[in-house]
Amino acid sequence: METNKPGLAIMTSGGDSAGMNPAVVCAVEYATQRGYKPYLVYDGLKGLIANSIVPASKDLVSGIMHKGGTALRSSRSPEFFDITFRTVAYQNIKSHGIEKLIVIGGDGSFRALNQFYNDFEIPFAGIPATIDNDIAGTDYCLGVDTALNVIRQSIDSIRDTASSFSRAFVVEVMGRHCGYLAVTSALSCGAEVCLVPEIEYNLDTIGARLKAEIAEGRKYIIAVVAEGTKMGEYITRYINDSIGMEARLTVLGHVQRGGSPTVHDRIMAYKFAVAAVDALDAGETNAIMTFKDGTYSHLPIEQVADAKYKLDPALLKLAAPLAC
């Protein structure tokens, strides 16, 4: 084990997601192996300002690998965008001998730490963690697989009651302006309808298709709708009034962020954490970890924050028939 390296702080920020805790554990363990003295920052950006910073002792990271959410907690912090408060945060981390940061979160958190780097030249590495899976430059963000499994289990359960009562169920899933969760869930659960911001949809053709299927014996309908379309309530009424099948809307909401991380999310957390420590060790200053086309790498924050995430065209092609 190497020694005599500076302090390295690990924090979670922004919306929580399963996989954050495994990333914290793995980052602490690997940073220690590489000779750093790891610290934990509680309460995200607010914690930097409030000096909620402690050495990463074994007891603080034991028994959290299997837990959803983030044991370090998170927060939104408008104060961090004020140089006065960022200066306080800088003074806090310097008082602990911390010279490098790892932030586990989304693009908003990365931008905040990039501003911090521009102000005080504190290098950081970002680990993408958001169930929305909407960070440019990476095919995967921590928490996505766990969220998809929560959605899959929910839709499978809803299908049971839909078939029992010959009803239509519209399931609204999260994702902000990105339709990844909706598309992937609709395809994996065999939904009849999928509405996402990335695919142009036509309710008239959807209605005609569903009416024809009902005439051929279809007894129930499952429609998956991305929250970014804002169409959940509307299509529920449309199916009920225009198609003539009793319809119910289920908004899954924040249940999608919770749950014990899947094996996939735990392994991805480990690989991202190792890559983040290695990037900082190699002298990178504002690198975001990525997984693209089966390869782990990293990109400068500018290439991530200034680009728009685009869904895989092949995935959109598969889902297109569900929107017409």
Active site residues: 132
Our CA dihedral for 50, 51, 52, 54, rounded to 10 degrees, sits at 180
CB 235 within 8 A of CB 195: yes
Beta strands in the chain (DSSP E): 7-12, 37-41, 53-55, 98-105, 124-128, 168-173, 193-195, 221-226, 247-251, 286-292, 295-300
CB 100 within 8 A of CB 39: no
- The whole-angstrom separation of Cα 19 and Cα 127 is 11
92-95 own/partner pairs: CB under 8 Å, 24+ apart:
92/48, 92/49, 92/51, 92/53, 93/7, 93/9, 93/48, 93/53, 93/122, 95/51
Tokens of 297: 């790498």
Q: Look up residue 79 and give its DSSP letter.
A: G
- The whole-angstrom separation of Cα 111 and Cα 116 is 9
The torsion angles phi and psi of 319, rounded to 5 degrees, stand at: -85, -15
Angle, vertex CA 119, rays to CA 113 and CA 124, nearest 5: 35
- The whole-angstrom separation of Cα 264 and Cα 291 is 13
Tokens of 186: 């609709």
